[in-house]
Amino acid sequence: MTQDPISSRLAPHVKHLSAGDAAIAGSLLTIDLGALEINYADLVEKSGEAECSAVIKADAYGTGLEEAAKTLWQAGCRTFFVAHPQEGARARSTLPDATLYALNGLVGDDTDATMSYYHTHRVRPVLGCYEEIDLWSRYCRSIGEALPCGLHFDTGMNRLGLSKKAAHKLSDAWTTQPPPFTPTLIMSHLACADDPHHPLNSTLLDRFRAIRALFPDIPASLANSAGVFLGPDYHFDLTRPGIALYGGLATSNRPNPMQTVVTLNSRVLSTRHVPKGQSVSYGASEVTKRDSRLAIINMGYADGYLRTGSSSDKRKGARVYIEGYEAPIIGRVTMDLTIIDVTDIPEDAVKRGSWVELFGPHMPIDEVAAIAGTIGYELLTSLGLRSLRRYL
């Protein structure tokens, strides 16, 4: 192949950058695995006598399933939860000896091939309806092996889960004839644990206690992240923290005690002076109220930074942190770019190439999410693939 003459002349003088080189990164997603480990240790302590598991669904809440799973295993975690069977297969490649549960139950066609997928990857489905119980029973009989699984009972979410009536029916039936599978966990889900004073918390606890009494020999689990903070009555045998592991706020109206795990930064591409009375970004939804200095950053909704964080003349949008100062978004967040108002920041502090923190230790993710009309969960799990990932 003939070498390009221009490339040939420049080659001795130019550093050739790879796609993973920070020098050409327009945005940087930093995942602090040390903070993840600290958070897990804190939740282990708060779980008391109960085993503390880890929920690693949705790519470990956007942090990267493999890296998070490996860190949590090294920290002592032995039981993990995913949502889908494919997530379980990914987790199994990193966690050969872990106990893995799939919260969404038997996802896929009602065929032996689907059941075999769970079996092959040793992912325990959490069965939440009679149809799933029948399917798992049929498959276990066909292979002559009582495979493990979880059982999900609905105590008030009205989402997934078997009813209280079903719990009594199964308990009575299994007294005389054990099931063809091995139930290794019974679980339910708290609907309002993020509000510690919500009356439904104690109601759901009482309902789960009644169901648990029907299966006294099977380990039980009720507490999600917020449930861990409700205290030992909610812990049972196994807690299932998710968002708190990754630094998100688990309970409302309280300071967040968890370490920051995820920080999203983006570069300033350029700055410009804009006179008073000029519209900014798509839709002309916001007009400058003064002579302004604006900075354009390399981040948009295609990167997972939500469009609902936009600003307009009618509502204030999200804020960012840059060079020791906070700055507001001005106008709409677009697919690839976001504009911030840096008028109140010294001019020499913000320039092309400056790094902006969209969320992280100085700009808590849950505060950004609240302004965008959502929760930290959505911001984390919406993170795009264009940011260069760096693991600490």
In a domain, 167, yes or no: yes
Q: Are residues 224 and 285 in the same domain?
A: no
Q: What is the mean pLDDT of residues 152-165?
A: 94
pLDDT at 153 over 70: yes
Taking the alpha carbons of 162, 164, 170, 175 in that order, is the dihedral positive or negative? positive
pLDDT score recorded for residue 252: 82
Q: Which of 246, 280, 299 is the last residue of a domain?
A: 246
Task: Confirm whether 282 is a catalytic residue.
Answer: yes
In 3D space, the residue among 162, 167, 185 whose CA is nearest the CA of residue 238 turns out to be: 185
C-beta separation of 268 from 295 below 8 A: yes
CA distance 371 to 28: 22
Q: Which of 130, 276, 282, 289 is catalytic?
A: 282
- pLDDT value at position 388? 85
Q: Judge if 332 and 192 occupy the same domain.
A: no
Residue 164: CATH number of its domain: 3.20.20.10
129 compared with 5, residue with greater pLDDT = 129
Residue partners of 322: CB distance under 8 A and separation at least 6: 268, 295, 340, 342, 345, 349, 350, 354, 355, 356, 357
Across 285-308, average pLDDT:
93
Claim to verify: residue 285 and residue 224 sit in the same structural domain: no
Residue where the block lists tokens 């003459």: 5
Residues 281, 153, single domain; the answer is no
Question: By percentage, how much of the chain surpasses pLDDT 90?
Answer: 83
Neighbours of 295 (CB within 10 A): 26
**How far apart are alpha carbons 320 and 305 in whole angstroms?**
12
DSSP state of 148: E
Residues 81, 224 within the same domain: yes
Q: Is the pLDDT of residue 1 over 60?
A: no
DSSP string, 327-357: EEB-S---SS-EEEE-TTS-GGGS-TT-EEE
Which one of the listed residues 15, 40, 46, 57 is annotated catalytic? 57
**178, exposed or middle or buried, with CB in 10 Å at 0-12, 13-18, 19+?**
exposed
Kindly state whether residues 214 and 305 are assigned to the same domain.
no
pTM of this structure? 0.89
- Looking at residue 247, its amino acid is G
Of 246, 271, 305, the position where a domain reaches its end is: 246
Determine the average pLDDT of the residues in 138-153. 97
Domain count, the chain: 2
Same domain, 228 and 268: no
Does residue 14 register a pLDDT over 60?
A: no
- Name the pLDDT band for 385 (thresholds 50, 70, 90): confident
Q: How far apart are CA 347 and CA 261, in angstroms?
A: 31
Residues 226 and 325 in one domain: no
By the 8 A CB rule, do 372 and 311 touch?
no
Query: In this structure, what CATH number is given to the domain that contains residue 386?
Result: 2.40.37.10
Shared domain for 292 and 206, answered yes or no, is: no
- Domain boundary among the residues 246, 272, 293 is at 246
Identify whether 169 is a catalytic site residue. Answer: no
Query: Is 257 a member of any domain?
Result: no
Round the average pLDDT of the chain to a whole number and report it.
92
Half-sphere exposure of 324 (CA within 13 A, CB side): 4
Q: Are residues 221 and 294 in the same domain?
A: no
Share of the chain above pLDDT 70, in %: 95
> Is 15 part of any domain?
no
Residue 115 falls within a domain, yes or no? yes
Residue 152's contacts (CB-CB under 8 Å, 6 or more residues apart) are: 103, 105, 126, 127, 128, 160, 161, 162, 186, 187, 188, 189
User: Would 6 be classed as within a structural domain?
Assistant: no
Same domain, 181 and 57: yes
Mean pLDDT of 64-81: 97
Q: Is the pLDDT of residue 8 over 60?
A: no
Residue 181 structural domain: 33-246
Whether residue 385 lies inside any domain: the answer is: yes
* Secondary structure (DSSP) of 151-171: EEB-SS--SSSB-HHHHHHHH
Task: Write out the two tokens for 95.
Answer: 């966690």
Residue 13 lies in a domain: no
Written as one letter, the residue type at 279 is S
Query: Concatenated DSSP letters for 268-287?
Result: EEEEEEE-TT-EESGGG-EE
Q: Is the pLDDT of residue 195 over 60?
A: yes
Q: Verify that 200 and 120 share a domain, yes or no.
A: yes
Give residues with Cβ within 8 angstroms of 166, minimum separation 6: 130, 153
Q: Is residue 28 one of the residues assigned to a domain? A: no
At residue 31, does pLDDT exceed 90?
yes
pLDDT confidence of 234, banded at 50, 70, 90? Answer: very high
